[in-house]
Structure 1
């Protein structure tokens, strides 16, 4: 089963867009709010390759980037393939 993790924070429009896209596609994900659990920041940085922007989206342990990258995968038809592998 595919594991999707979204590292997010409050008042983040791109975080909301990413979560909405995943929900619309019926993709289950775990949301980790770094603003509510600051200890998760180091985990996010490790999994994202040091990227500090929000959201950071991890699919099957691999950081894919933020909303722009998620949207690009969707536009290319690659998101479904990535989720279904």
Structure 2
């Protein structure tokens, strides 16, 4: 199983899209709200070089924003694998 982190914040429509996408595909992930969790915010900026949400980290690979093709590639997803 891949280690997936999703950095998010309130009132972030793209973040909600990623959460729904992960749910549709049965992806397990750690949700890190940078508004509520200062350590997560610092990690996002200092370790991953990002200042925006959503930022997705899959086994150390950082994706700033939602790049569906890259996410699908790293998680070995396809539209035929959507969970009911």
- Normalising TM by the smaller chain, what interval? 0.7 to 0.9
Counterpart position of 2:57: 58
Cα offsets for 1:34-77 (capped at 9, x unmatched): 111122211012342x221111100002212222x2x2436xxx
Aligned residue runs from structure 1 range 31-70, under 5 A? 31-48=31-48, 50-67=49-66, 69=67
TM-score (norm 2): 0.79
Quote the RMSD (CA, aligned, Å): 1.6
In structure 1, C-alpha distance between the alignment counterparts of 2:75 and 2:40, rounded to whole Å: 24
Tell me which protein shows more helix as a share of its residues. 1
Gaps of 5+ in 1: none
Gaps of 5+ in 2: 77-84
Equivalent residues, number: 76
TM-score (norm 1): 0.78
Counterpart position of 2:79: none
Aligned residue runs from structure 1 range 1-85, under 5 A? 1-48=1-48, 50-67=49-66, 69=67, 71-73=68-70, 79=72, 81-84=73-76
